[in-house]
Amino acid sequence: MRLRTENLTVSYGSQTVLDGLSLTLPEGKITALLGPNGCGKSTLLNCFSRLLAPKSGSVWLEEHPINRLTSRQFARQLALLPQHHLTPEGITVRELVSYGRSPWVSLWGRLSVEDNARVNVAMSQTQTHHLAERRLTELSGGQRQRAFLAMVLAQDTPVVLLDEPTTYLDINHQVELMRLMGTLKTQGKTVVAVLHDLNQASRYCDHLVVLANGRVMAQGSPEEVMQPALLKTVFSVEAEIHPDPVSGRPMCVVV
């Protein structure tokens, strides 16, 4: 499912964060949003997910402006893992993950056999099955992050947005999450992730979008984007680009 913006402008008071952004993300691919802090990555994701209304411009899902979709229609098309979570008191991991099925349940609010199956699959994919009956408040930050990710996966939408999804995760779970994004792609889903690690983005993502000063500085394949001149301009680092010894993708080495 194709996600795009047209002349998107977002401001916080007098500060313009996104400035006339027109962007089309490739369907059925993994896109990484990259850039220095404050460049508008999370703001763009919040516009995609209707958490933030733009000052001007629009966001489209296929041929539909997202503000014209009902909440239920929208929630069946797009799911978001936000950067920060409100942790509900007293609920278990299974209960949290089950909330992901809310757009699909009947008016009576009861989960079907299929709903429960999707909840189980989501917990299996995120290695949270053994935590199913634990309360969220008892978990570590990394365990909670995986539980919220499972809720997003249980929603089973064509578009999945992930805002800094590797936050709080140990390196092994970071790798598992990046590989999981590849699994979602094989299922035909469009995945968009805000990432800080350039080499993770290059190894696991198909399409890179680099933002700075509210605008797109570069976009394309890792081979097209991972260039020393761009890294110096955007991130103020001197870097060499070498082939990743595992994937063969471009790898940034700061010098």
pLDDT of residue 85: 86
Distance CA(17)–CA(122), nearest Å, equals 34
CA–CA dist 119, 104 (Å, integer): 12
The pLDDT of residue 84 is 86
Q: pTM of this prediction?
A: 0.94
- Which helix (DSSP H) or strand (DSSP E) does residue 192 occupy? strand 190-194
Sheet holding 3-12, edge to edge: 15-25, 3-12, 56-61, 64-65
The long-range contacts involving 81-84, CB below 8 angstroms and separated by at least 24 positions, are 81/148, 81/149, 81/152, 81/160, 81/161, 81/162, 81/163, 81/165, 82/51, 82/163, 83/42, 83/163, 83/164, 83/167, 83/194
The residue type found at 79 is A
CA 151 to chain centre: 13
For the chain, what are the domain ranges? Answer: 88-156
Q: How far is CA 133 from the centre of its chain?
A: 27
Question: Which residues of the chain register pLDDT less than 50?
Answer: none
What is the per-residue pLDDT for 92?
98
pLDDT score, position 190 = 98
Identify the pLDDT of residue 105: 92
